[in-house]
């Protein structure tokens, strides 16, 4: 391969590949940063460390741990909007942005988003991850 006349980059193909991958990653990162923030959903509380305990203290609360840069989290938004009006009496949905409330994400050991935690009277009773359908959210509301 000493006298390769095809292309000087053939000898260093892995460097070219690395540059392409890094370029693509930077492009995707910049694209995600320019996305508009997700809209607020009526009937869904955005929780912080100050409001969290009071909000989940009584009744059943489905808490969605999410991030604005997360594609599946954005896919979950219209499903939540569709579901919030059909929840059983006394069941609430709340959201925690893991970037803005990283202390809550650490407290509940959130490793990936979206993660759903079901609280009954302030106590965690169930946990799942990934995008949940309307039917799955309604089933979560019935968890004991």
Active site residue 73: yes
- Which entry of 47, 56, 62, 73 is annotated as an active-site residue? 73
From residue 85, alpha-carbon distances to 92, 94, 99 in Å are 10, 13, 27
Task: Retrieve residue 77's tokens.
Answer: 């938004």
Give strand pairing partners of 119: 61, 124
CA distance 110 to 127: 10
C-alpha 67: how far from its chain's center?
4
- Which entry of 45, 48, 51, 70 is annotated as an active-site residue? 70
Catalytic site residues?
70, 73
């Amino acid at each position: 391969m000493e006298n390769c006349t095809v292309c000087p980059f053939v000898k260093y193909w892995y460097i070219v590949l690395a540059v392409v991958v890094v370029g693509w990653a930077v492009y995707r990162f910049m694209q995600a940063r320019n996305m508009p923030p997700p809209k607020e959903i009526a009937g869904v509380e955005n929780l912080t460390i100050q409001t969290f305990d009071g909000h989940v203290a009584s009744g059943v609360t489905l808490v969605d741990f999410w991030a604005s840069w997360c594609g599946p989290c954005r896919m979950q938004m219209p499903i939540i909007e569709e579901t919030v009006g059909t929840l059983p009496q006394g069941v609430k949905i709340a959201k925690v942005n893991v970037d803005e409330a990283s202390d809550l994400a650490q407290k509940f050991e959130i490793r990936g988003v979206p993660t759903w935690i079901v609280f009954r009277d302030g106590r965690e009773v169930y946990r799942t991850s990934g995008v949940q359908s309307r039917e799955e959210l309604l089933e979560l509301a019935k968890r004991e």
